[in-house]
Amino acid sequence: MKMIHIILYFLALLSYTSHATTSSVNDFCVANLLLPNTPSGYPCKPPLLVTENDFVFSKLVPGIPIPPFNAGTTPATVTDLPGLNGLGISVERVDIGINGTVPMHIHPDATELLIMVEGQMTAGFITPTKLIVKTLNPGDVMVFPIGLMHFQLNSGVGKTYAFAAYSSTNPTLHIVDILLFGNKLPTPTLEKTTLLDSAQIKKLKAQFGGSG
């Protein structure tokens, strides 16, 4: 190839890539976690500062099961994996010890897709008119539609674990017991709005750090 061609090719490259270069931020928008979040996600890191580590999370280790539920989770969401920003997906590893449970909870902004890897879980979700419960084994995948109350419990003889993929870059975990019993909402208000007995409420407030 002659020198003149090399130069022309070089110009061609510049021409074809320059548009992409100035807008490369649009091929991805890696979260700049130092800036405030927005409803669509974090502002983008300058493309020059983006590295492969923004797209890989290396610690999706077993969640340490902790009492009283004997279950633990390890999340890989946008704050752990900034390359997820704006892309509407994330994952966590869910480990449940023997006899353990992921208690009744809700993800207000995400559908959950549970991918069984080891052991056995019984899982379910509830709507006012449907109760969906299944026993799950490795090779099973179960979907928990966005915003629905659900649970998983270890129904096997050993430990069990699964991956939970979410349709959100930063799903939150709303455990019903923590919502009801982990704050200062007065016991009489809880009695009226849940019909639970006062003694029951106080017992669980003691467990979950609530007062009032």
Closest CA to 144 of 121, 123, 174, 119: 123
- Of 51 and 158, nearer to a copy of itself (C-beta) is 51
CB of 160 to a copy of itself, least distance (A): 14
Binding residues among 152-211 for a copy of itself as defined by CB under 8 A:
153, 163, 165-168, 170-180, 182-185, 189, 192-197, 200, 203-204, 206-209
Cα(153)–Cα(120) distance, integer angstroms: 8
Binding residues among 23-82 for a copy of itself as defined by CB under 8 A:
23-29, 32, 35-47, 50, 52, 55-61, 64, 66-69, 72-73, 75-77, 79, 81
Query: Distance from CA of residue 66 to its chain's centroid?
Result: 18
CA torsion 172-177-179-184 (nearest 10°) is -140
Number of residues that bind a copy of itself (CB under 8 A): 139
Please, which residues bridge with residue 174 across strands? Answer: 106
**Going residue by residue from 93 to 132, which x/- string records binding to a copy of itself, judged by CB under 8 A?**
--------x-xx-xxxx-x-x-x-x----x-xxxxxxxxx
Binding residues among 131-150 for a copy of itself as defined by CB under 8 A:
131-134, 136-137, 139-149
Closest CA to 123 of 167, 67, 178, 162: 162
